[in-house]
Amino acid sequence: MQTVVDAITGGGGGPGTLTLLDEKANATEALAWHEVHDLARRMSGVLGRYDVGPGSHVGLAGRTSTTIALALQSIWLSGGCLTVLPPAEDGSSRTRKENARRIAADAGLTAVLTTDGADDLESAMPGTRVLRLEKLLAEAKASPAAPVYRPASSDLAVLQYTSGSTRTPQGVPVTHGHLISNVEGIRASLKHDEWHPGQWLSWLPLYHDLGLIAFFILPMSCGCPLAISPPEAFVRNPIGWLTGMSKYRAIISGAPNFAYGLLSRLLATGRFSEGIDLSGMRFLVSGGEPIDAEMMAKFACAATSLGLDERALLPAYGLAEATLAASMTPADAGLRTDLVDPVLLESAGIAQPGTGRKLVSAGFAVPGVDIRITDRATGLETGPRRVGHIELRGSSVIGRYWGEPELPQGTWMRTGDLGYLTAEGELIVCGRHKDVVFAAGRNIFPQDVEAAAQEAPGVRPGGAAAFGLTDDSGDRLVVAVESRNSDPAEVKRQVSERIRAEVGLTPKDVVVVSYGQLPKTTSGKLRRAETRRKYLAGEFAGRQTR
């Protein structure tokens, strides 16, 4: 199979149905995939009237809907490359508009298709044609199906913009060859053919690679039924995600680590579990941010009372520069952890089996991807259990940004993450190289500090960011946490005690901020560098130095 377009057209859209859910997991829209495909073929002909065709770069903006789904297909069927833009009205409007303007200019967008917010987009992207999907859909229903454009594997499929944790988002040029390679690699790792056509469920945003590729393009390409809700539905009612799993007997779903932490706390209250049956779940993917072993274990403990099989937990590791997935835990293996000596890990970069630090395995390389670890000083490949730079190569690894020259085939891409391989070849991710805090002669990984901080009463799950301030003696640890507790001094004390007990280091400062104040990317990842900048600029109200 050459491309995802071949997969879609080969089955006429597939046997399943695309269902849009609200925050309570009630269906609000539904279209069979063959209906989506038929309308997409009609819309691709309409797009030609607006000069959208082979080689066009087309933006797609709007809240998750069946219309967005068929618009995505129509762009490919007309020969275009798509870029999914974050909704202009989400989060900070000024920031989103500026990002949209920069993306439009960088990508050279021919047009932007949108379900809403057209006025905002037109003001953000002067000179770019903004087309309302409601009008295009009306034209499509009265138009014949257009011939399908068959892209080559080297044609661009997606300009996937990174979430910009430290800089302006950069485009990753995903070709149709990259895309089908990663989709097939994920399918193989999931043993998809054994349970096709199983029910998928997702609330993940389509402007992020995990939501777009794993939980939209993949089920669309094979015609599996997909129940999907906008990300804001999860924000308003997190339990609705579990309700949807139960109601639609979902086999597979997924989320970043923070979502499991939030649900573990909600389920612990015992107030939300009535009528929820998770016995049908086979795969619960955890990806998109570092995975906390204790947090996932707490979720598993709470969810098993609802019928969840612990073997369904499936940690994974990936990044946009590799299309998406680089490694995945084997199907039905569950949460696998590696116990290591923390002193040797932090002082010498040696992951010696022992006690004290529990790290989550991200599994084995997906088919089509090779993984190696290189020494941080020499750049040479290391042996097993030596912490170093995680590097990738393979048929789904892009390894460059839009506008940069293509790399020779077989080039290794440095991910920016640190980790190690076990003797069996399992990948253990330790953290981002740039985020490591060097203090007291140790390399402190910020996610270890953040995991400890989140155990303090009143701290929001996923609401802790740790970073270092460098002086002559090394880095001083600072932690910012989100809390609604009316006594910030008590939160500071509790956070400091948890970190001192778990990590063996006392923070120089603990900052307590309100919910939503910590800078994050569109996928929910912490922007530690931006948090550090805001701290130094005094932008966190009420900051107190210890």
**C-alpha closest to that of 163 among 216, 254, 85:** 85
Instruction: Output DSSP code: residue 329.
Output: P
Q: Which residue has the tokens 């460059």?
A: 400
Return the amino acid letter for 225: P
Homologous superfamily in CATH for domain 330-435: Luciferase; Domain 3 (2.30.38.10)
Phi, psi dihedrals of residue 251, rounded to the nearest 5°: -95, -35
Phi, psi dihedrals of residue 184, rounded to the nearest 5°: -65, -35
Q: Which two tokens stand for residue 168?
A: 């302006």
Residue 214: predicted pLDDT: 97
Residue 522: predicted pLDDT: 60
Neighbouring residues of 364: CB distance < 8 A, sequence distance ≥ 6:
327, 328, 330, 425, 426, 427
**Stretch 57-77: mean pLDDT:** 93
pLDDT band for position 544 (cuts 50, 70, 90) = very low
Residue 258: predicted pLDDT: 86
**C-alpha closest to that of 215 among 177, 172, 247, 244:** 244
The runs of H, that is alpha helices, within 108-166 are 118-124, 133-141
CATH number 3.30.300.30 is the correct assignment for the domain at 437-536: yes
325-354 exposure pattern, b = at least 16 Cβ within 10 A, e = fewer: bbbbbbbeebbbbbebbbebbbeebebeee
CATH of domain 4-237: 3.40.50.12780
- pLDDT greater than 70 at residue 76: yes
Q: Which two tokens stand for residue 374?
A: 């290189």
Is residue 254 within 8 A of residue 317, CB to CB? The reply is no
pLDDT digits (tens, 9 = 90+) for 458-503: 898 888 999 988 776 567 899 999 998 878 899 999 999 999 888 8
Specify the higher pLDDT residue, 292 or 183: 183
Rg (CA), the chain: 23
Q: Which residue has the tokens 């048929």?
A: 395
* Domain regions of the chain by residue span: 4-237, 330-435, 437-536
**Stretch 144-171: mean pLDDT:** 85
Residue 70: predicted pLDDT: 93
Give me the chain's average pLDDT, please: 90
In angstroms, the CA 88 to CA 1 distance is 36
- pLDDT greater than 70 at residue 523: no
Residue 524: predicted pLDDT: 66
Residue 358 CB: number of other CB atoms within 10 A?
A: 14
- pLDDT greater than 70 at residue 535: yes
